[in-house]
Every structure is written in C-alpha cells, then in structure tokens.
Amino acid sequence: MTRSWIDEVKGRLGFGFARIPMDGDDVDYEATNVLVDEFLRQGFNYFDVACFYANNHDEDAIRKCLVERHPRDSFMLCDKLSMFYFDSEEQILPIFENQLKACGVDYFDMYLMHGQSAEFYAKYKRCHAYEIALELKRQGKIRHFGISFHDKAPVLDRILTDYPQIEVVQIQFNYLDYEDINVQSKLCYEVCVEHGVPCIVMEPLRGGSLVQLTGEAQEALDSLKACAASGVPTDNVSFALRFAANFPNNVVVLSGMNAVEQVRSNARTMRDPVPMSQHELEVLGTMHDIFQKQGKVQCTGCRYCMVKCPKHILIPEMIEAVNSKRVFNNENGEWYYIVYTMKGGKPLDCIGCRACERSCPQHLPIVKLMREATRYFGKFD
Ligand code: SF4
Ligand code: SF4
C-alpha cells in the first residue's frame, strides 16, 4: 500500500466543501472565493467535495472557486462515488467522467467510495465499483483510492480485509461519537490503525452541534477554559478540532467553513495542534452523557436523507425545529418550521417509506422525528 498521499497534504486541516456559503439555492461564489484563497494562503491544500453537497452545486463551486483560479498543483482534490446516483455497473464510468468535467480537472487526487455501510457496500460490490475505481487509478485518473465510512467497526474490518488497496478511510470522529455505540469512532479508528490505513476525519464538530453548546455541556467546556495553559485556544471549536487531531492516525481533519474568520481560527488551531491533557480528555469523555440528558437529536445536517425523500421534506431543518423545542423550548423551532415548510414538504405528509432512514449515517429515527415535529408544530400547517 502506498502512503505517499500523506506527504502531499499540507497541514492537517482539510476544507470540507459541504457547508460553503449559499445565496438562496445557489452557491455564493464570491464569498466562497474568499474562503478558498484564505485557506490556501494559510498554507493548507486539501479540499473535499461531493456532487450533492451545496444543493447539488458543489462540484461547480470547486471548479469556479478553486480549479479555475489556482494552479492544479497547489491543491489536492477529493471527490466521491455517491451511492444515490447509480444502480448498475454501466452507470459508474459516465458518472465519474461527468465529475471530472464538473470539477474541471483531469484527475482526482483522492476518490472515495462514499458513505460505506454494510448495505451500500453490498451494492458497490454488486456493481464492481471498487474494481472500476482501482482501474481508474491504474489509468491515472485517480491518484489515491479510499472510502468514507458510516457503520460499525466489524463492517469496516471486513471492507479493509477485502480491499487492502484502500489508502484512506474517512471516518466520523469527534468527542461526542468517540464511544457512541452506533457511530463507534474509537473502534473504527482502531480498525484503521490495525490495517495500517490512515484516517481523514469528517464531522469533527458533528455538523456544528459542538459549536453552540448550552447548559451543562457549555459549563463543562468553560471549566476547561478556566484551567487552560496560556496560548492554548479555548473556544468550543478548538476543543473539538484538537480532540480529533490528538489521534496520530487522523492525518487530516475536515472542517466545513463558511466565514473567513472560521478559516483563520481553524488554521491557528490546526497549524500545530496542542496535544490534549489527560484532564481535557476526561472532561470531553463526559460530554456524550450530558448531550443524552439534554435530549438533543444528533443530526449532523449532512442531508443524505433528503436525496430520495418523495415528499421533499427538509428533514434536517425539521429536526432542528424539534431540537429547539426539546432542548431550548424557545420560539426558534416555530419559525424554523414555518419557513422551511414553505420551501419543502410538511412532516405531516411523510409516508413512512424510510428511504431517509436507510441513508442516514447517524441512524436517526427520522419517521418518528417527523411525527414529533407534526405534534409540536402541526398547528402551523
Ligand atoms: S419516510 Fe418520510 S421523511 Fe423519510 S423519505 Fe419517506 S416520506 Fe420522506
Ligand atoms: S437526518 Fe441523518 S441523513 Fe439527514 S441530515 Fe440529519 S444526520 Fe444527515
């Protein structure tokens, strides 16, 4: 297995293009240009895209904001074969060629089999997706090959055993999921170490859930701030990024950034991440239970669930509304509900087909949550 991709990455911060600034339904290209330029200026070079991020404009955005404005050798670009767009072997190559075209490149530095789980892995195997990707690598159209993963550790172990050619695994890794029985960040990390495969971290902030904390959760981080050594960044984001970076096999930590100050702040934290103290690790180890007590639904806002929803329900926004009600009991949930049911379907119209649940990397009970949203807010329908 070649590990040379690690030598090509500059710094340990990657730019996840899933949450770039939007202007209505399209990307705010000017604002995204500024972020891209600042990220490169700060000395980093790794970009991660997928065709359905940014309301299906992600690959266009990377072409316009990065590829057409910067030399090809100044950045590394990772794209993915997403599970939603093919059902047969014959569809894969045309999808790949379209992706190259959409991104405006001749090759991808990294190409991942997206969101692998036991179910999706079976489909990728049936369609020989891994073999096709490995052939593309032989042709030079993919420089490095890997997977992104959302399932239990034994499934990951099986995939890495079946395909020792895998050079990288993108895993969900943050202090909330570290010992979570569904996400299994710790166990998945250990499987990668056993197989000698480096990791790229996604969701270090758990879709933003670790940025704005409330009650006991924020008090726990405040207690860490109070005893932090001078020079150690003590904002909520830095704690989360440093946690991910504290594990040496996590070679790159992706962050979805939509403001230039975020790029600068993340760059400061990740340029030379300060190792976590034992006390910091112990306090962060209590956060999972605190969040459980607060009852917050752990949606990351990845939007995988929405790709096949026949009722076009804006599921993450509806979950956000439920969270506002459950955790904060404030009026934001009502506003969320009213605004977002004007743009998409209503939870009341959910037919319980569970297409969303089969795609949700967090294994959330979405049908139940849609019923809960209707219970709280149905009076506004
Ligand atoms: S179960 Fe409901 S929310 Fe989920 S995909 Fe089907 S209609 Fe949409
Ligand atoms: S419900 Fe699941 S799939 Fe949908 S946005 Fe939230 S975490 Fe992602």
pLDDT digits (tens, 9 = 90+) for 79-111: 999 988 899 999 999 999 999 999 999 999 999
Q: Determine which residue's CA is closest to atom 6 belonging to ligand 1.
A: 353
Contact 6, 201 (CB under 8 A): no
Nearest listed ligand to the Cα of residue 356: 1
Residue in 7, 16, 8 with CA at minimum distance from that of residue 241: 16
Q: Give the closest ligand to the alpha carbon of residue 348.
A: 1
The secondary structure of 111-134 as a DSSP string is: EEEEEE-HHHHHHHHHTTHHHHHH
The answer to whether the CB of 200 is under 6 A from ligand 2 is: no
- How confident is the model at residue 309, as a pLDDT? 95
What are phi and psi for residue 146, nearest 5 degrees? -160, -165
CA of 115 to the centre of ligand 2 (A): 12
pLDDT of residue 132: 98
DSSP line for 329-349: -STHHHHHHHHHHHHSB-GGG
Tokens (6 digits) for 10 = 């500059």
Q: Which residue owns the Cα nearest ligand 1 atom 8?
A: 309
Q: Residues 346-351: contacts with CB within 8 Å, 24+ apart?
A: 346/311, 346/313, 346/374, 346/381, 347/313, 347/318, 347/371, 347/373, 347/374, 347/377, 347/378, 348/374, 348/378, 348/381, 349/311, 349/313, 350/311, 350/313, 351/310, 351/311
The protein residue whose alpha carbon is closest to atom 8 in ligand 2 is: 302
| Both tokens assigned to 238 | 């830095």
Nearest to 350 by CA among 377, 335, 371: 371
Intervals of the chain under pLDDT 70: 1-3, 328-331
Residue 181 CA to ligand 2 centre (angstroms): 17
- In angstroms, rounded to a whole number, what is the distance separating the alpha carbons of residues 218 and 266? 20
* Predicted local distance difference test score (pLDDT) of residue 1: 44
Out of 120, 303, 313, 363, give the residue to mutate to test ligand 2, the one with the largest number of ligand atoms within 8 Å of its CB: 303
Note the pLDDT of residue 286: 95
CA-351 nearest atom, ligand 1? 7
- Other Cβ atoms less than 10 A from the Cβ of 50: the count is 24
In the chain, what is the greatest distance between 2 CA atoms, to the nearest angstrom? 58
Q: How far apart are CA 304 and CA 357, in angstroms?
A: 9
Instruction: Return the ligand 2 atom nearest residue 369 CA.
Output: 1
Q: How far is the CA of 193 from the centre of ligand 2 (A)?
A: 28
Q: Own/partner pairs for 286-292, CB < 8 Å, 24+ apart?
A: 286/220, 287/175, 287/176, 287/217, 287/220, 288/175, 288/176, 288/177, 288/178, 288/179, 288/180, 290/216, 290/217, 290/220, 291/176, 291/209, 291/217
Q: Which of 347, 292, 302 minimizes the C-alpha distance to 322?
A: 347
19 close to ligand 2 (CB < 6 Angstrom): no
Q: Which residues have CB under 8 Å from 371's CB, separation 6+?
A: 347, 350
Q: How many angstroms separate the alpha carbon of residue 306 from the centre of ligand 1?
A: 8
Radius of gyration of the chain (CA): 20
Structure tokens at 86: 């093919």
Distance CA 250, CA 268 (A): 18
Which of 314, 334, 307 is closest to 323 using CA atoms?
334
- Closest atom of ligand 2 to 207 CA is 7
Q: Please name the residue that has the structure tokens 């939870």.
A: 347
Which of 303, 356, 358, 362 best tests ligand 1's pocket when mutated (most atoms within 8 Å of CB)? Answer: 356
Identify the H or E element spanning 208. Answer: none
Task: Give Cα separations from 274 to 40, 118, 227 (angstroms).
Answer: 22, 36, 15
The residue nearest atom 3 of ligand 1, judged by CA position, is 350
Out of 3.40.50.970, 3.30.930.10, 3.20.20.100, 3.80.30.20, the CATH code matching 5-290 is 3.20.20.100
Ligand 2 pocket, residue 130 CB under 6 Å: no
Do residues 205 and 172 touch, judged by C-beta distance below 8 A?
no
φ and ψ at 282, to 5 degrees? -65, -45
What's the confidence (pLDDT) of residue 173? 96
Helix spans in the chain (H): 5-8, 29-41, 53-56, 58-62, 92-103, 118-126, 129-138, 153-162, 185-195, 215-226, 236-245, 260-271, 278-284, 287-294, 315-323, 332-343, 355-359, 366-377
Any idea how long the chain is? 381
Which single residue is written with the structure tokens 């379209």? Answer: 98
Domain(s) labelled CATH 3.20.20.100 in the chain stretch across 5-290
Confidence at residue 329, expressed as pLDDT on a 0 to 100 scale: 67
- Asked whether 183 lines ligand 2 (CB < 6 A), one says no
- Note the pLDDT of residue 240: 97
Distance 136 CA to ligand 2 centre (A): 31
Between the CA of 303 and the centroid of ligand 2 the distance, in Å, is 5
Please choose, from the candidates 342, 344, 326, 324, the residue with its C-alpha nearest in 3D space to the C-alpha of residue 334: 324
